[in-house]
Amino acid sequence: MKKLLLLFLVLPLLAVETIKFPNGLQVVLVKRKIPAVFLTVFYRAGSFFEPEGKSGLSYLTGMMSFAGSQKTNPWEQIFFLERVGGRINVNITRDFVIFESYFPREEFPLGLWYEHERMKPLNLSRSFFHNEKKRLKREASLYLQDEDYKIENVVYSLLYSNSPYSHRPLDISDGITIQDLENFHSMYFQPATALMVIIGDLSTRETSLITRMFSAPASRQVIFPEKVEFQTRSLNKKLLVRGLKTKVYARCYRISSPSCLKRYSLDLAELYLRRKIKGKVLKKKLRGDWNVVSRHLVYSSSLCVVVKGGDPLAWRKLVSQTITSMKVSPIKKTEFSALKLSYIRKIREDEMNPEVWGLKLGEYSLIYHCSQEDILGGISLLNSDAFWNMIRKSIYPFNRIDVVLLPWGKRP
């Protein structure tokens, strides 16, 4: 019965078409009978690419891309979306600047055109640049004070201390000039660095419009590193962090340049660890807010257990025992089948939400380096022994950090 259910879940539900233009732009079209269009655009322009001493450049460039071009006025896209009942969000990560928008289907030509204009040179005045830079620094400072954001950035700085991934995306340097921003935009906001996911009731008319609008402009030269080397080391220490309210215990494993198989195996390991830790916490009645999360970047992935509050020594012992037991022997076949079903169900649930699905399809292509079909097919064929071998080879002491973060001083 489980095999039949698994087969049903991995069968394609939606029509997906992928187009790659000669200028490097990739477009993923998902046809769905809905009255709105959901447009997600990824630019490979995250904080990883910021020059030394120019932290926050990706954040400023992403936000100031609303400054307009030769054909549009500042904030025109936002005003247009608000007027027609749509909206747009900007997400700045270590790898990407991501624009997520939606609007009524009948506004598709104009909604698409604004994204076309974003790839053109910015029309920035010095007064606009300086005023917006001040405003964005004030906004970013609020995010930087958030406790969860602090913890995440400390963990990243420890995992990737010798690489650009240690940069904090919202930590804006005073030394950024208008020329820095224009150069960064010219280099990274162009067809060759972009992936566009469009979900909606798309006809041949919409597809031909995409081709006419985006296939012509040539891309400017941009070279991405094929591989990033990370220092392999184990870390075990206590750190004082300003602004924390309570003690935090974190154990993380960094996996460099993983394949598609390793990435979704780590997602399965996240689910497995969460279930095992939950059972042990209930028995031992440990206090503290805990979470298990797998994070994926273009050049690396990580698996972390983070606990806020409680006794760090007790948590360290419990997490250590759980991970050791996971590595000692393969997971039971029945338990592994249930794990795979849970993971596939989550993919299918995300697929039903077009606002989430555009983001997930982009992540599969750009970060996992495989398609949704590759992941679903790979999971259906993966057995417990292969999963165990993958985890055993990925999680080892030399790529581990074990750290206790302690409150330091008063919260500002």
Which tens digits make up the pLDDT trace of 296-328?
A: 999 999 999 999 999 999 999 999 999 998 888
Rounded alpha-carbon distances, angstroms, from residue 276 to 201, 290, 381: 43, 13, 24
DSSP designation for 364: I
Same domain, 90 and 56: yes
- Structure-block tokens of residue 372: 């949704």
200 and 240 fall within a common domain: no
Measured distance CA(39)–CA(35) in Å, rounded: 13
Whether residue 271 sits in one domain with residue 142: no
Q: Encode pLDDT of 337-395 as tens digits.
A: 999 999 999 999 999 999 999 999 999 999 999 999 999 999 999 999 999 998 888 88
Strands 97-104, 87-92: pairing kind: antiparallel
**The last residue of a domain, from among 182, 214, 246:** 214
Q: Is 302 left (phi over 0), alpha (psi -120 to 50) or beta?
A: beta
Residue 326: give the domain boundaries. Answer: 235-408
Q: CB of 254 within 8 A of CB of 230?
A: yes
3-state secondary structure of 234: coil
Residue 354 lies in a domain: yes
With respect to residue 300, please indicate whether it lies within any of the assigned structural domains. yes
Asked if residue 137 and residue 58 are part of one domain, the reply reads: yes
CATH number for the domain that contains residue 362: 3.30.830.10
User: Is 229 part of a structural domain of the chain?
Assistant: no
Output the six-digit token pair for 248: 């935090």
Residue 97 inside a domain? The answer is yes
Q: Is 29 helix (H, G, I), strand (E, B) or coil?
A: strand
Domain for residue 220, yes or no?
A: no
pLDDT of residue 383: 93
Same domain for 301 and 365, yes or no, is yes
Are 59 and 207 members of one domain?
A: yes
Q: Is residue 201 part of a domain?
A: yes
Kindly provide the b/e burial profile for residues 194-229, where b requires at least 16 CB atoms within 10 angstroms of the residue's own CB: bbbbbbbebeeebbebbeeebeeeebeeeeeeeebe
Go through the chain and tell me how many residues it has. 412
d(CA 78, CA 81): 5
pTM of the model: 0.92
Report how many domains make up the chain: 2
pLDDT per position as a tens digit, 232-291: 778 899 999 988 889 999 999 998 877 899 999 999 999 999 999 998 988 888 899 999
So what's the pLDDT on residue 217? 72
Rounded Cα gap, residues 271 and 259, in angstroms = 19
Residues 190 and 240 in one domain: no
Residues 194 and 272 in one domain: no
272 and 404 share one domain: yes
Is 7 part of any domain? no
Burial of 332 (0-12, 13-18, 19+ CB in 10 A): exposed
On whether residue 169 sits in a domain, the answer given is: yes
How many Cβ atoms from other residues are within 10 Å of residue 381's Cβ? 9
Of the three residues 184, 214, 244, the one that is the final residue of a domain is 214
The CA distance from 286 to 315, in Å, is 8
Do 302 and 345 lie in one domain? The reply is yes
E-strand spans in 263-369? 289-296, 300-308
CA–CA dist 282, 392 (Å, integer) = 26
* Same structural domain, 268 and 195: no
Please, what is the average pLDDT of the chain? 89
> Which amino acid is it at 300?
S
What 3-state DSSP class applies to 258?
A: coil
Angle formed by the axes of helices 2-10 and 372-381, nearest 10°: 160
* Same domain? 290 vs 194: no
